[in-house]
Amino acid sequence: MDYIRINRIHEKDFDSIIEEAGGNRIKTNGSASNGYSADYRLNEAIIELKFIREEGLVKESRRRKVAEIFRGTQADRPVVVLDPKILSEKNLRKYYNLLGQPIQTAVKKAAKQVHETKLRIGTDSTRVLVILNDGYTALSMDEFREVVGKVVRNDTSKIDYAIAGGVYYYSDRFDTYSFARFDLIAVNVDKPFPSYNGLLDTWNRWFEKHMKSVIVGQENAHDDRFPVIDLNFEIDGIVYVKPCPPMGKPSSFWPSGRRPRENTTGIDACPPVATCFPKLSKTNWCMFKEAMPNESKLQDDYASWLRWAKEQEQKGGNKFQPFVGIDIEYEDCISCYRQEGEKLSFSNLCCVASEIFNIKIRSIIDGAINKLESSIVLPTYIFLLTEEIGKDKAFDISSIYYFNETPGFERDDIIVANERLFFEYALALASAYAVSMDLEAVVYEKNERYAWM
C-alpha cells in the first residue's frame, strides 16, 4: 500500500486565507516598490509570506559540516544519529546555525520587503513575517519555530512579529496524522497585532478543508508531498541519520500496536550465518575411515585429521559467518545417508553437520530470551544488543557478546561490535555463535531510543 500524499501549500492558498480574514494582496508599482514589496495588508499589519522548501541536508557542504559536529558524539559506529539533544551547547548552536541558513536568507529578504512597504505606505503598520515550512523535514515543528525565533530576533530589527507555521504529515501507510502549526513569535511587543487571532482562525479552517480534500481525493497536484521519513546521507563511509519522529501512540491498525518498519537492506531471507564442518571423535573417525578408506579429506590418521580440521577452521570463517564444528555420530550418518548400493562420501558428513546445526540454531532462535521481560538467570550465554534507528532497518546497529556470570569466572567478551545488522539477522548470527560455543541460549535487548513506532 502506497502512502497518501498531500499537496504542498501554495501562495493562492494563503491568498484565500488572507481574504477570508479581511485582508488583501498589496498591489505594487514595480518602480515605486524598488523590487521590495510585502505581499498582504491585513488591518494594522503588513505581511510578507515566505516558504521554506529547501531540505536542509541536501547540500553536500552543509552535510559535511553537520557530520563534523556529530561524528565525535558516536565514535566507532557505522551509523551516527543526528540527535541535537546529545550535543554540547557550543555544537548545538553551530548545528542550528547551519540548519537555519535557508531561514536566515528568507528572513533578511522579508525584513527589507515589509520595511520598504511600510515606508512607502506611510502608516504606522505592524510588520509581520509568515514563514511556512513546506518540506524542510530536517527540522521538527518545535525546532523550526525555535530557529525562526532566533533568526528574527538576532538578525533584523525590521520585523515586529513572525508566524512560524506549516503542515506536518506523518504516516505508516494505514494511520495518518497531520498537524497544522501557526505559532506567533513576538519580536516587538510594543507594536499591536490583534489581527493574529482572526488570521489563526482562518488558517485552521483552511487546514480542515485542505485535509478533507486530500482524504476524499479531490487534491491532485504535481508537487505533492510524502510524509516525513528518515533523512540520511553518507560521508566518508559513515551513514548519518535524522530519524523520522515516532507516531506517538500505538497503531490502531496493526494487532500488536507496533508498526512494521521499512527494510531497504535487500535482505528478505536470512543470509548464511555459519560455515558448518563435521567434528569427529577418534572412535567416529575410525569408523568413517573404515567405511571410506579412499576419502582423502579424512587424512591418513586421526592426528592429521585434527590438524587439517584446524586449518579449515582458520580459513573457513569470518565474524558474519563463523566456523561451527558439529559433532557427527557414525551410526546417525549411516542411517540417514547410506542406502543399498550407495557409497558414503565426505559431503554426506557435511550435510549431516548442516542439518544438525539447523535444528540447534532454530531451537535457540525460537527460545531467545528478552532481557527486559525475563527473570531467568543463566551462567553463560550469548548477549545480543540491537539499536533500532528510525523507520528503516537498514540503519540498525547490533553488537554480540559472550557473557559468563559464573561467580569467580565472570567474563564479557565482544564478538561483534557496532555492525549494521537488523534484529532478525543479528539474532540468527548470535544463535550461530551460541551453537559454536555449545551454549543453550541467546539473551537479547532492543534499544528503542531512536526507533520508529
Q: Which residue reads 570463517 in cell numbers?
A: 317
In the chain, count H helices and then E strands: 12, 16
Rounded CA-CA distance 347/344 in Å is 8
List C-alpha distances in Å: 363 to 95, 256, 367, 401: 48, 24, 6, 19
Are the C-beta atoms of residues 49 and 39 closer than 8 Å to each other? yes
Are the C-beta atoms of residues 384 and 443 closer than 8 Å to each other? yes
Angle, nearest 10°, between helix axes 302-316 and 282-291?
Answer: 100
Residue type, 410: E
Each domain of the chain, given as residue ranges in start order, spans 11-62+87-227, 261-453
pLDDT of residue 217: 64
Q: Looking at residues 29-49, what average pLDDT do you find?
A: 82
Residue 340 has pLDDT above 60, yes or no: no
Angle, nearest 10°, between helix axes 11-21 and 195-215?
Answer: 130
Rounded CA-CA distance 109/112 in Å is 5
pLDDT of residue 338: 61
Rounded CA-CA distance 146/181 in Å is 13
Residue 444 CB neighbours (<10 A): 21
Rounded CA-CA distance 129/185 in Å is 10
DSSP string, 275-340: EEEEE--HHHHHHHHHH-TT-GGG-SSHHHHHHHHHHHHHHH-BTTB-EEEEE--HHHHHHHH--T
pLDDT of residue 220: 55
Q: What is the dihedral of CA 146, 149, 152, 154, to 10 degrees?
A: -80
Compute the residue count for the chain.
453
Whole-model pTM: value is 0.87
Task: Give residue 171's pLDDT band: very low, low, confident or very high (50, 70, 90).
Answer: confident
Rounded CA-CA distance 88/92 in Å is 6
Residue 13 has pLDDT above 70, yes or no: yes
Q: What is the dihedral of CA 291, 297, 300, 305, to 10 degrees?
A: -110
The three grid cell numbers given for residue 210, joined into one nine-digit string: 485542505
Q: Looking at residues 254-266, what average pLDDT do you find?
A: 85
Torsional sign, CA 146, 148, 151, 152: negative
State CA 329 to chain mean position distance: 47
Are the C-beta atoms of residues 334 and 401 closer than 8 Å to each other? no
Rounded CA-CA distance 117/158 in Å is 11
**3-class SS of residue 351:** helix
Rounded CA-CA distance 285/192 in Å is 94
Q: Which residue reads 525555535 in cell numbers?
A: 146
Q: Looking at residues 88-108, what average pLDDT do you find?
A: 95
Rounded CA-CA distance 98/227 in Å is 24
Rounded CA-CA distance 39/308 in Å is 82
Phi-psi label, residue 94: left if phi above 0, alpha if psi -120 to 50, beta otherwise:
alpha
pLDDT of residue 252: 77
Task: Give residue 434's pLDDT band: very low, low, confident or very high (50, 70, 90).
Answer: very high
Share the mean pLDDT of the chain: 90
Q: What is the pLDDT of residues 173-207, one digit of tens each?
A: 777 778 899 999 999 999 999 999 999 999 999 99
